[in-house]
Structure formats: structure tokens, C-alpha cells
Structure 1
Amino acid sequence: MTLGNITDEVSRLHGKLYIVVLPDFFFVCFVLYLCSYFENLPVYLRCFTVGWVYTRILSRGVEVLQRLRMYKEAVEELRNLLSQSTYCPDSRGRWWDRLALNLQQHLKCIDQAIHCIKEGLSDPLVRTGHRLSLFQRAARMKESPSCKKHWKLLQDVPSMDVQDVSHVTIRGKMCPQTGMGKSVFLMEDIVQSQGQNENPSTSSETVMCSVEELALAHYRQQGFDQGIHGEGSTFSTLFGLLMWDIIFMGGIEDVFRNTYQVCPLDLHTDSFYENRKTPIEERLDLLQEASVETLQMLVAETWNSQQGKINPLVNWERFVSLEQAQSLAVCLGGVFLSGLIRRLCKDYRHCRGGLPDLVVWETQTLKYKLVEVKGPSDRLSHKQMIWLDELHKLGAEVEVCHVTAIGARSLRVS
């Protein structure tokens, strides 16, 4: 290997960090040794290396190039980023998706875009929403008249089977408002007051609410006496309560580096499951066969011993009481919780987003629904589509609740 080859290799590994002055050959060999050492580190430690920082900077640079409409340069940088899998592997799905978009729409290189989609779908580091996005792009290209001559290239694109779920539509009166914030609706709220003769009376008043609160009121009328608008935090809190001891278990090298950490370093990597595979599987087997009493006991043990302690997975305000958390765990059941937690343990980094907005349930019948709420002009994201399909396969009753507005949307408050 010549000195020039070594310089090129250093530049590649460091994401275009060009070495201008090299004191001697041995220094370059030492730098290459450090690069190979970084590559052998687990991902949760590799993110503290210089190469990771340079890769993040280059990734941000791609966004700048795209804003400047310098799409050829952006494509070149994306290909450079994708030529390595050492640094920022969790960003590969976004890179592939953006590369396919630039090639197809901006540069009109349809053949290259199709090959990019195929490579992205065959990349094991591309997960969940980005994988579905690539597949749907290929599906749209198949139906596009402008891509008819590329039809043969599109035939062997890997397929994805994501089933749709049931949809319902409710109507609400939209509040006239200014600005571009989230939709605000008006809802009649029943208020109880104490009369002069100490006889309670009821009255109604109009209150402003979000689309989720409007949907909660709708499901309350259907008999669901309990409901939480928590999105992913409802499920991550149950995950944290049922797996607390395993998440913070000792004996795993380098996942706790200082006393100020609130979670193990490997939580957002594939190493989390691999480092704890045996205890995780044992806990999942226990949940799979758990009785009502066992589920209540598991939740209560963590709640009583850890309540108030900082854990990024657990929102202690998500449930109003221990009894409510136990009630939801019992309604969901051990089989469903086992499947949900398995997915979170294996890929928490990519699965923490996209979970349904609402969980509603009946405490007496143990009936429940997981509901994704969509306001006017909102639509499902790729991650939400995948989660709804996954939850349905786990046996949950899932639903998409569309909220439509009554009256003119052009009204504004003066």
C-alpha cells in the first residue's frame, strides 16, 4: 500500500476529513489502526468517536445542499455516506429514501432510482417506516405512465405486506383561530354544580379541545370508561414497568459509564436485545402465560419500588394511579404485551414512534381499542401504518378515527 492509498483510506473512513500534512508513514499507520479499532467497537460506543461526528456533519450537509437545490452534489454525498456502514447505521433508511427521491424526481434518473430502491430494501439496517416508504415509491413508479419502459426493472422489487385497519369518522365544530397550529375544536362539556338547596344540578358549557380529546369523548359515549391520550408514552411506560430490572441489570460491559445515566447506552441499538437475550425471553415467556394476578403483581412491584425515579421510558404521570396501570395491563393481556415488548426490545430506536394516540378500555368487560386519531387533512405516516398492522396481528382491536370539521374553515378570530 502506497502513502497515497493510505491517505485515501484515511479520508474515506473519516468522511472526507482530508489529511493535508502527514509527519511520517508510521503516524498514518497509527491513524489506520485507530480507525479499525473504532469499527470494532459496539455501536453504542462508536457514536462517541470522531468518525461518527464527521458523518453526522456530512449528513446535515446533504440537507443544506438539497435546500440549495444542488441535487447532483447531494446525491454524491448520499452515496459517500451509504458506502460505509460503520457510522450512523440508524440513518441509512433516511439516506436511501432521500437518494431515491433525488434520483427520481429531481434528476430524472429512473434506472438509478430503481436500483437505489432495490439496494435500500435489501439493506438489513433499513427498518420500519423507511422500508415501507421505499416500497411504496416503487409501487407508485409501477403505476406511473412515465415509468412504463422501466417496468421490467421494477418486477423484482421486494414486496411488503401491510394490511389496512378499520376506519371511523366523527364530526366536530372547529374553533375559529389564527395561526398555523393544530386544529382546535369546540365541545359541549357537562358540568355538575351544587344548588342552593344542596341539590346537584347539571349544565353544559362549551370548551375548546384537541382532536384527541374530541375522540376520547366519542369513545366515552360508546361505553369505554377509561381512556388515555399518551401516544407512544403509554406503551413505553408499560414496557418500562414490566422490564425495569432487565433494562437496568448489571454485568453488561460498557453500557453504564457514569452515575448520571438515566438509561443504558445500548437501549437504542440492536445490542440491547442481544446483550440481554436470555432474561428478556424468560420475561416474555412469563408474560405470555401470565394470569391477571401475575400481571398486577409485576406492575405493582416496579411501581411501588421505583416510583418517581427518572427513567426515559416511564412517564409517572401517564397513569393517574397504580390501579389504572394495572387495569390497562390486564385489559391488554399477557399475550399482547409479550409481542409488543419483544418488538420494542429488538428495535426500540426505530419502533418508539408511530404508536396509536389513544388507548380506551372498559374496566368491567376488559374490552379495549387502540386508536390513531387524524384531524382534517392529516394522514397516516409510514411508521403508523406499520404499527397498526403489527398491533392488529398481535390480536388488538385497532382503529383510525378521522375527525372532520363542521362549518367553514376560513373563519378567523378578529
Structure 2
Amino acid sequence: MALQSPKDTRPGTADLDNPLYYLENMETVIGWVQSHHADLLTGEEQDRLSAFRELSVPARALLTRMVMRTGELFRAEKLHYPELGVPESEALEELVAGNWLDTSPVLTIDQLFRLYTLGELRPVFAGALHDAGWPKTLPKGRMLEALRPSFPDVCPLADWLGKQMPPVVCINHMALFDRVRLMFFGNLRQSWSDFVLVELGHQRYEPVTFTPDSRAFQSRTEVDLYLAMHQCREWLDEGVPAREVWPEVPAPSDNAWLTSRRDRLLLELGRQAERQGDRELALQAFGASGHREARLKQLRLLERMKRHREAWTIAARWQAQPLSDAEAQGLARILKRLASRLGKPMPPTSAHPSIQEFTLTLPKPALGSVEFAVQQHLWQDDAPVFYVENTLINGLFGLLCWQTIFESVPGAFFHPFHVGPADLTREDFVGRRQASFDQCITRLHDGSYRHRILANYLAKQDTTNPFVTWPVINEELLNLALDCIPAEDLECLFRRLMLNIREHRSGFPDLIRFFPGNTTPDKRYEMIEVKGPGDRLQDHQMRWLEFFAGEGISASVCYVRWLGNRVME
């Protein structure tokens, strides 16, 4: 069935003063999926969701509570929710009649131990423990380990604990709720509590236009593919050997968003295989993964396996391709080691620009950080200093490129409550919006960037954006930055940021000092990285500082020593 473009209505969020707020939010999730993803649901699934809406309010609320909790099995007598307004047994009867719950599930011994307390289990298994030569006083975990080999089968509750026990119920359609959760969130990492149990109204979210073409999932097959990859990841997390999971990894997809998830799955499978001693499988998984980290891991593993010539061939070929800073740094180190072992000429390395540094000896403050101490020491009325770290340059970028960041492209937004695009840290984030980002850079050339940044600052106050930290980006700081940082420098900084959003959003110096009275354009600000006693530069900080030096942007490292044992009040 063809999906019609739904009305782009903004679902509301429940007020936490409403005792059934969680049900209201669950209905928002289900309504959103029915409106925007109906063609990805089977007729039976659509009927089930419609049946959910036809349940009484207490039954819907109780089922929602159960869906939100961990697992699918629940002790009926332990379900206590006074806000239902009716006895829980009444709501349970309706759910059982509607085939939402199974009252006679079979249980493994592990499930039994999760549901019942040690005091309830000891009398039942005292005889089995005695026969096996175990003391009846074993703690619960040890008791389960001792009994598991003797009780491999699944049994109804009555066979485990007797017919007198109140029933255990099992949710019958948890897979459907998981599918709905996936289509709403775009992942299964987020739980129902990330939406259903929170009040989202305290945040402002950027309105995004949702159309069928902007959806991440264009077919049910793609949803199934995601679920299959998620199952593989769960198996790995549960300790299933990587060799057993490998055949279950789905084939590559034409969907770029799903391909990136598959690359991450293969990276993790390779890691697990290496830990489990299956090095050949690890190499195969790393080689099949397109994740940034996979190639370096493949090369390092080949080194450990003494397969230096093979590693050299791959590394030399990879060196000719575009690399991120971290990849280039890691590859250069590997090539240097391999060249030494194989008697190859050392690969040419680019000279590292010298980083400016200075030392301050200050009384140790009674309170506050070392960055605050340096800020206070350097502050002058005509040269104010701000503690900004990663907030300022990211904030200026986010304000200039706001509309581009929130473009509705496939796989970027799944619902109206995103802090930012879901593909933000993917390698193709900029490429998929290249024309729009180019327009933002053009504003730096024609001088209109200041108006765009200030206009977005005023219009978007307190609206969530992954690059803008409110209220750190205040009006004073913003105006000083726009007055003192030349457009040419902003372009350099933004272009490097866009090369690798994931890596380059961090590592900026702690402080920025402005010189608004200086008439020389490139001498009106400087950035300062602060390092206290015993602290040292991290790789990502070093890479930014070397970039600044290469581009002629004023930046330095301030090393702090404390003055004896004196404490500055």
C-alpha cells in the first residue's frame, strides 16, 4: 500500500501531573507510527495496534507499564498501580481476554530465579541441593549455578512451585512493541522510558518536516534488516561466540544508514573475535567493515600476528586515500613500525608546526578548577577571558548552519523530539547536505554570516541543538566572538569541523581571550589550553593546536605550577 504524506502535526507531550502521563505518551508513540509508518506494518500488526486503542483506560495503562519494564514475564500479584482506578486483577482479565497476555507461560530455571526471591526458592529446591551435596544456605546466584545443570527443561509455574502460586503472565506481542519502538526512535538502544516516562515539554525541539521520502525505513525489509542486526549485537553482548554470530550477520544493504549500522556491528564482532582468540575471523570482520576504526584495528592485528608484509601492502594502499586526522596519525605510527621491521624507506611525514606554550606559577585556589584560576589571573577589562572549551566554536557553527543541521533527510529524524539529527556522527553527514553547507560557508564570504548567527540566536533561544550549549553562548560572548574572530578564521575552523564531526567537536582549547581594542584583525583573540600539574595534552587536543599553528591562528598551551603551599582565597 502506498503511504500518503501525513499531516505534519506536532504531537504533544503529557503533563507529569497527570497520573496516567505514561499512557498518554505511549499513545503518542503508537499514533505517530500508525500515521507515518503504516505501510511498514502488516495488516495483523495494524489490527493489534487498533485493538490496543480499544482497550479500557486501566487495561491500556497496565499493559503500558508492563511493556516499559524489563522482560516479558511478570508476577500478577506484584503488579500494583493505584492510578489505574480499578483493581489490577480487573485490568489483567481484560488483557488476557484480548490475547495481550499469556497466563500459562513455560519458564526456564533462570526466569524462575529472576521472578522469585531467595526465601521463596529455598524450600522448593532444598531437596535438590541436598541430593547434589550443596548446602541449602547457598546465596541465590550460587544456588542457580548449582541447580542449572539438573533443570535444563522449561516448565509451567505449577510444575516449578505448585498450583497454589498466583499466576505469572507473559506479554504476547512484545515483538510488535519493539518494532514500534524502533520505527519511532530509529534505534533499539533507547528504551520506552526515554520517552514514555519523561516530560519532554520542558525542552524546545526544532520543528522538522516529516515526509515519506525523509524516512529512514522505506520498506518493511529494511526494518527486518535492522532487527536482525540488533539480534546479532545482543548475542555478542550476551557472550555468544563471534564465530556463531558471524553467519547470521545480514548481507550489505543499499540503505546507507543501515550500512553504517552494519559496519559498527562488524567492528564489534571483530573485537569480540579477537578477544576470543579467533584472529582470522577478526581480520575478516574488520576487513568487511567500513567503520573508521576497523582498518586501524585490522592493521594492528596483522602486526601482532607478524604478518608485516600484508599489513604494509594494506597500509600503503590506504595511505593514498582521504583520511581523518586520527586515521592519519594512527596510520603514520603503523607505517613507521612496519618500515623498520621490513627494511622499507620511512614514509615521508609532514612537519608538525611548533605549538606555542607558556608557564604560570599561581597560588593554588581553595575552590575552583585550574582553568578558572588561569581565567581569573589573565582577565583584564580590555582583554576579557572566557572559559569556553568546546562550546564557542561549536556554538557559532551550530547557529550559522542551524537550518542545514535540521534538514529533513532520510535517517536523520524519526520523531519530533530529536535533540539533533540521528546521523550527526556518520561519515556522510556533511556529504548528504553538502550544497546547503556550501551556502553557509558562502555567508562567511559575503558578510551575511553575522546576521544569520544573531538571527538564529534570538529566534532559537533554548531550542535544542547538538552544537549549541545554552546558556553558555550568551549575548556578550557571542558579540565579542563575532567582533574579534575574522570570517576567514571561522571558515578554517568550520571546514575542519565538518571533515569529521565525531572527532573534531572536541579538543578545543579551554579559554579564549579577546582584544576588542586591537585594530589588527588577526590579533584580536587567542585561544589557550590550560594544563595543570601532571596533566598533558591529549591527541585530539594536539591535533587542534597543530592545526591552529599551521593556519596562523593564535593559540597556546598554558602550563600551571602551584606556588608552594599557598592557597589563594
Amino acid aligned to 2:468: V
- Structure 1 counterpart of 2:553, which letter? A
Letter in 1 for 2:285: L
Q: C-alpha distance in 2, partners of 1:308/1:138? A: 47
Q: Does 1:350 align with 2:541?
A: no
Which structure has the larger Rg over C-alpha atoms? Answer: 2
Point out which structure has higher relative CO (alpha carbons under 8 A, 6+ apart). Answer: 1
- TM-score, normalised relative to structure 1: 0.67
Q: Distance in 2 between matches of 1:285 and 1:377?
A: 43
Deviations 1:128-184 (A, max 9, x none): 134214424655788xxxx5xx3732x2535233312211111134xxxxxxxxxxx
- Answer yes or no: is the 8 Å Cα contact 2:266–2:289 preserved in 1: no
For residues 325 and 269 of structure 1, the distance between their equivalents in structure 2, rounded to whole angstroms, comes to: 29
Aligned match of 1:135: 332
CA deviations 1:60-90 (Å, max 9, x no partner) are 665xx3xxxx8xx38656523321134xx13
What does 1:274-289 align with in structure 2 at a 5 Å threshold? 274-289=431-446
Cα distance in 2 for partners of 1:140, 1:46 equals 33
1:84 maps to which of 266, 273, 288? 288
List aligned pairs for 1:39-58, cutoff 5 A. 40-42=254-256, 44-48=257-261, 52-53=264-265, 55-58=267-270
Deviations 1:326-369 (A, max 9, x none): 22122112111112112222321121222222211123327111
Aligned to 2:415: 258
AA aligned to 1:379 is: R
Distance 1:369 1:312, change over 3 A: same
2:512·2:526 contact (CA, 8 Å) conserved in 1? yes
Is residue 273–residue 282 contact of structure 2 (8 Å, CA) maintained in 1?
A: no
Aligned residue pair count: 325
Q: State the partner residue of 1:159.
A: 349
In structure 2, C-alpha distance between the alignment counterparts of 1:210 and 1:97, rounded to whole Å = 40
CA change 1:99–1:18 in 2 (3 A) is closer
The C-alpha deviation readout for 1:171-230, integer Å capped at 9, x for no partner, is: 134xxxxxxxxxxx32xxxxxxxxxxxxxxxxxxxx423221222133325x76322223
Contact in 1 for aligned 2:267/2:286 (Cα 8 Å): no
The two structures, once aligned, show a CA RMSD in angstroms of 3.7
Q: 1:392 aligns with which of 549, 563, 566?
A: 549
What is the CA distance between 1:235 and its match in structure 2? 1.5
Provide the residue aligned with 1:334 in structure 2. Answer: 487
C-alpha distance in structure 2 between counterparts of 1:295 and 1:324, whole Å: 16
- Say whether 1:312 aligns with 2:466: yes
- Which of 351, 363, 377 is the equivalent residue of 2:516? 363
Residue 416 of structure 2 aligns to a residue whose secondary structure is: coil
| TM-score of the aligned structures, taking structure 2 as reference length | 0.50
1:219 aligns with 2:435: no
Secondary structure in 1 aligned to 2:463? Answer: coil
Gaps of 5+ in 1: 1-13, 21-27, 174-184, 187-206, 410-414
What are structure 2's unaligned runs of at least 5 residues?
1-231, 237-241
Amino acid at match of 1:243: C
SS at match of 2:268: helix
**SS of residue paired to 1:370:** strand
CA contact (8 A) 1:246 1:276 kept: yes
| Segment drifting more, 271-280 vs 133-142 | 133-142
Code of the aligned partner of 2:297: W
Q: CA shift at 1:272, angstroms? A: 1.9
Is 1:208 the counterpart of 2:367? The answer is yes
SS of match in other structure, 2:415: coil
